[in-house]
């Protein structure tokens, strides 16, 4: 997994790319989220548009991110999931847990509303 981050106004945006398999990748994302929360961040977007494959452990990593962000009384939107990844959310019923947006601009709009 490749992880990059940027700030869009008051929103922390994490972009994931390649295969999301969890494992050691989970630690990298988890540490980044904890650091941002420690700095006062309350709004997060995780972009999945460049994710080619996601394992069940990768889904678990996103659930962990969601839990960490919720416990900090912050908000997370998942953006830009491909059709294949969106289907994973649907099959696992995670589409009822996560807030999903078609693309990052829509996610940012949801967070500003």
pLDDT confidence of residue 22: 84
Is the pLDDT at 113 greater than 80? The verdict is no
**Alpha helix (H) ranges present in 1-113?**
24-38, 56-71, 83-91, 104-112
pLDDT confidence of residue 47: 98
Domains of the chain plus CATH, in order, are 2-112 (3.30.750.24)
66-98: buried (b, 16+ CB within 10 Å) or exposed (e) per residue? bebbeebebebbbbbbeeebbebbeeeebbeeb
pLDDT, tens digit (0-9, with 9 covering 90-100), for 51-80 = 999 999 999 999 999 999 999 999 999 999
pLDDT, tens digit (0-9, with 9 covering 90-100), for 5-59 = 999 999 999 999 999 998 888 899 999 999 999 999 999 999 999 999 999 999 9
């Amino acid at each position: 997994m490749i992880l990059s981050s940027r700030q869009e106004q008051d929103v922390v945006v994490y972009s994931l790319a390649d295969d999301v398999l969890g494992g050691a990748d989970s630690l990298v994302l988890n540490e980044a989220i904890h650091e941002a929360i420690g700095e006062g961040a309350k709004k997060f977007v995780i972009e999945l548009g460049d994710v080619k494959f996601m394992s069940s452990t990768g889904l678990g990593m996103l659930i962990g991110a969601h839990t960490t962000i919720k416990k900090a009384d912050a908000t997370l939107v998942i953006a830009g999931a491909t059709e294949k990844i969106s289907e994973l959310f649907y099959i696992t019923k995670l589409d009822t847990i996560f807030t999903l947006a078609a693309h990052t601009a829509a996610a940012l709009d949801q967070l500003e509303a």
